[in-house]
Amino acid sequence: MNESDVQTIEVALGARRYPVWIGRGLLGDSARWRARLRGRHALVVSNTTVAPLYLERIAQGLDGLHWSSFLLDDGEAHKTFGNVGRALEALATSGATRDACVIALGGGVVGDLAGFAAACWMRGIDFIQMPTTLLAMVDSSVGGKTGVNLPAGKNLVGAFHQPRAVVADIDTLATLPDREYRAGLAEVVKGAAIGDATFFAWLEANTDALVRRHTTTLVEAIARKVRYKAGVVARDETEQGERALLNLGHTFGHALETAGNYTALLHGEAVAIGMLLAARLSERLGMSEAPDTARLQQLLDRLGLPVARPAGMAPEQLLALMRLDKKNTAGTLRLILWRGIGKAQIVTGVEETAVLETLAEATSVNAASGRATAS
Ligand SMILES: O=C(O)C(=O)C[C@@H](O)[C@H](O)[C@H](O)COP(=O)(O)O
């Protein structure tokens, strides 16, 4: 793939429509993204791992503007209210006016927090997503969900605030650690598991190439997932219906992340385990068949993702956390389950006993690897 081969996927939201650019060398292609800035001020939000690698490239593109940076420590545990406050202070210190732009340079934590700060500053200013992890490229940078975690639960505070553009420079994936890369693949699998059985079969056929980060295969996987998500977001921006399907594996997953104090599991790892738990629960409720669960487990396993509830996270504790999920209504659990590969479904009023049994069932964990040893 050459630097000139850039894929553009539109998120069709009328006057707020925006492009997702996927390709090589995009961070350095400032002529492209700088045109999306409207004013003279910019705040680059990044973290202490990513900034040393890529901030200079962005700085060159911001030449002549009044810009500054705000850096988080790396990791989900830093997606906090306190850090949003600090980002807002940085905007104040720089004298940012309503035409300022926040640039999120990093993974999902940076993007969610920077987007939320942009949504809050003067009741909403522009922001641009520059995802540098696979997970952020295929999922969190697209669709305008911004926010922070509380000790009580993941993403409990936030706002829908769409970016002005998403700049997915796949060159940045070269520096992504293997564990983070595999975690991103979980969100690719999720898209296929929800609504595209053909894509799921393609992933099964291309597992080895994906694990090797074969460029063309990877770009195709990213583009397919982003195109699918962009379509859902355009039809249901604020999750009144269909968009909730994108939450497959997330009610379980968020509970697992919270139970692990946002440090035990990466988001994508928690989603991998969560999807499998959702598949098992679906099977228990008679909605789906064992061979579909087995295919999901096999694919996740081949991609090197964990597939079992980590020891030490008790079913009752996880259920209590799941009761605070944003999709729930009137005291009943509302989960995304499935009728097999490519057929996710919103189910309201799921019995807690079935959830507990699913959480407790015979998935023993090899403590050393976090991988399932039996099912
Ligand atoms: O964009 C969406 O909609 C999603 O649900 C995508 C999720 O993968 C993503 O993790 C999202 O931030 C979770 O949203 P939440 O509403 O469950 O906090």
Stretch 126-136: mean pLDDT: 98
User: Going by DSSP bridges, is the β-strand pair 101-106/66-72 parallel, antiparallel, or unpaired?
Assistant: unpaired
Tell me the pLDDT band of 373, cut-offs 50, 70 and 90: very low
Rounded mean pLDDT, 59-77? 97
Q: Is 302 in the pocket of ligand 1 (CB under 6 A)?
A: no
Last residue of a domain, one of 175, 209, 239: 175
Q: Is residue 204 part of a domain?
A: yes
Q: Sorting pLDDT into bands at 50, 70 and 90, what band is 4?
A: confident
Domain boundary pick from 152, 175, 198: 175
Amino acid at 316: E
The pTM for the full model equals: 0.95
Residue where the block lists tokens 């949504």 = 119
CB contact at 8 A, 33 and 105: no
Are residue 162 and residue 184 in the same domain, yes or no?
no
- Is residue 243 flagged as an active site residue? yes
**Distance between CA 338 and CA 163 in Å, rounded?**
30
Q: Would you say residue 45 lies in a domain?
A: yes
Q: Considering the domain boundaries, does residue 80 fall inside one?
A: yes
DSSP single-letter state for residue 312:
T
CATH number at residue 26: 3.40.50.1970
Residue 367 has pLDDT above 50, yes or no: no
From ligand 1's centre to the CA of 34, what distance in Å? 28
Q: Is residue 205 part of a domain?
A: yes
Residue 157 sits in the same domain as residue 204:
no
239 is known as an active-site residue:
yes
Q: Do 150 and 298 lie in a common domain?
A: no
Q: How far is the CA of 225 from the centre of ligand 1 (A)?
A: 14
Residue nearest to atom 1 of ligand 1 (CA): 143
Q: Is 123 a catalytic residue?
A: yes
State the pLDDT confidence band at 2, using cuts at 50, 70 and 90: confident
Instruction: Write down which residue in 146, 175, 204 finishes a domain.
Output: 175
Average pLDDT over residues 189-200: 98
Q: What is the mean pLDDT of residues 286-296?
A: 98
On whether both 153 and 123 belong to a single domain, the answer is yes
**How many structural domains are present in the chain?**
2
pLDDT category, 3, cuts 50, 70, 90? confident
CB-based contact 191:229 (threshold 8 Å): yes
Q: Please tell me whether residues 293 and 342 are part of one structural domain.
A: yes
Is any atom of ligand 1 closer than 6 Å to the C-beta of 57?
no
Query: Is 60 exceeded by the pLDDT of residue 69?
Result: yes
Mean pLDDT of the chain: 95
Does the residue 74 lie in any domain?
yes
Q: Cα of 45 to ligand 1 centre, how many Å?
A: 21
Q: What is the pLDDT of residues 319-358, one digit of tens each?
A: 999 999 999 998 899 999 999 999 999 999 999 999 999 9
149 annotated active-site: no
CATH code: domain of residue 324: 1.20.1090.10
Q: For residues 232 and 205, state if they share a domain.
A: yes
Could you tell me if the CB of 243 is within 6 A of ligand 1?
A: yes
Percent of the chain scoring above 70 in pLDDT:
96
Catalytic residue among 164, 225, 254, 309: 254
Domain that holds residue 335: 179-372
Confirm whether residue 326 is marked as ligand binding.
Answer: no
Angstrom CA distances, 316 to 114, 141, 266, 275, 331, stand at 34, 33, 22, 19, 16
Q: Is 98 a catalytic residue?
A: no
Q: How confident is the model at residue 363 (pLDDT cuts 50, 70, 90)?
A: low
187 is catalytic: yes
Q: What percent of the chain has pLDDT over 90?
A: 94
* 129 and 51 in a common domain: yes
User: Is 1 inside any structural domain?
Assistant: no
Burial of 2 (0-12, 13-18, 19+ CB in 10 A): exposed
Tell whether 358 is covered by a domain: yes
Which residues are CB-neighbours of 37 under 8 A, at least 6 positions away? 65, 101, 126, 128, 164
78 labelled ligand-binding: yes
Q: Are residues 188 and 52 in the same domain?
A: no
What confidence score (pLDDT) does residue 331 get?
A: 86
Q: Considering only 77-86, 198-207, 359-368, which range has the smallest mean pLDDT?
A: 359-368
Distance of CA 3 from the midpoint of ligand 1 (Å): 31
265 plus 138 within the same structural domain: no
Residue 115 scores a pLDDT above 60: yes
Average pLDDT over residues 366-374: 38
Which residues have CB under 8 Å from 126's CB, separation 6+? 36, 37, 38, 99, 100, 101, 102, 118, 163, 164
Ligand 1 touching residue 326 (CB < 6 A): yes
Residue 364 has pLDDT above 50, yes or no: no
Is 173 labelled a binding residue?
yes
Task: Find the mean pLDDT for residues 277-298.
Answer: 98
Do 116 and 61 lie in one domain? The reply is yes
Q: Clarify whether residues 148 and 288 are in a common domain.
A: no
Choice among 239, 257, 269, 283 that is catalytic: 239
302 within some domain: yes
For residue range 248-264, what is the model confidence (pLDDT) as tens digits?
999 999 999 999 999 99
145 belongs to the catalytic site: yes
Confidence band for 16, pLDDT divided at 50, 70 and 90 = very high
Higher per-residue pLDDT: 179 or 312: 179
Query: What is the residue type of 174?
Result: A
Q: Residue with the nearest Cα to atom 13 of ligand 1?
A: 247
Atom number in ligand 1 closest to CA 112: 12
Q: Do residue 248 and residue 338 come from a single domain?
A: yes
Catalytic residue among 24, 57, 145, 182: 145
Q: What integer pLDDT is reported at residue 214 of this predicted model?
A: 96
The pLDDT of residue 146 is above 70: yes
Helix (H, G, I), strand (E, B) or coil at 47: strand
Q: In this predicted model, what pLDDT tens digit does every residue of 48-62 receive, in sequence order?
A: 999 999 999 999 999
| 76 marked among binding-site residues | yes
> Does 237 qualify as catalytic in the annotation?
no
- Residue 369 banded pLDDT, cuts 50, 70, 90: very low
Can you say whether the dihedral through the CA atoms of 89, 95, 99, 103 is positive or negative? negative
Q: For the residues 192-211, what does the mean pLDDT come to? A: 98
Q: For a pocket test of ligand 1, which of 247, 248, 327 has the largest count of ligand atoms closer than 8 A to its C-beta? A: 247
